[in-house]
Amino acid sequence: MPKPQPDPSPQNRSALSQALEHFGAKPVRRSDLEERLLGLTSPQSRQHADALAALLIHEAAAQGRIRREGHQHWVAAARGRTLLDGTLVPKLGELVQLNLETRCPQKWLAIDLETCEIWQPTSKGWRHATQANKKLAAKIAGE
């Protein structure tokens, strides 16, 4: 007869995030998470805490939040940004300079796909788009 899957509470789910935050860049073992979950089980049961830890790690790995590091260790996956459409894009470790060479900067607009901010270049750099340019961008996006 198959064992019933544990049903993790929101408090149990946050334990994994807390463990990853606590250990930082260091690898985390399932037993580390089990120790954190042990106090959250009632009555306290190592077997139940271990089953919860295994389930939470499996779910987080399937979501791409963590990745295996060696045989028994897990680390937080490269952090990224979630765009408005739900796409997760990687966040690079270093800044990247985006250059636009043009003789007419007023004809360009840039849209931040995470925050929906619209930017326009000037001869001195980027600034928030004017209301007129925001309306123009909305019109173009609607086509």
Question: Which residues partner with 126 through β-bridges?
Answer: 121
User: Closest Cα partner for 40 from 61, 19, 58?
Assistant: 19
Please, which residues have CB within 8 angstroms of residue 91's CB and are 6 or more apart in sequence?
78, 79, 80, 81
Give me the pLDDT at residue 2, please.
57
Number of folded domains that form the chain: 2
Indicate whether 105 belongs to any domain. Answer: yes
> Of 52, 76, 100, which one is at a domain's C-terminal end?
76
User: Closest Cα partner for 24 from 87, 74, 76?
Assistant: 76
Query: pLDDT under 70 in the chain at which residues?
Result: 1-4, 78-79, 143
Give me the pLDDT at residue 89, please.
81
Give me the pLDDT at residue 139, please.
94
Give me the pLDDT at residue 84, please.
86
Give me the pLDDT at residue 1, please.
53
Any idea what the Cα angle at residue 9 is, between residues 21 and 53, rounded to 5°? 55
Predicted structure pTM score = 0.53
Give me the pLDDT at residue 85, please.
86
List the domain range (segments joined by +) for residue 20: 10-76
Give me the pLDDT at residue 4, please.
67
> 88 and 113 in contact (C-beta within 8 Å)?
no
User: The domain that contains 65 carries what CATH number?
Assistant: 1.10.10.10
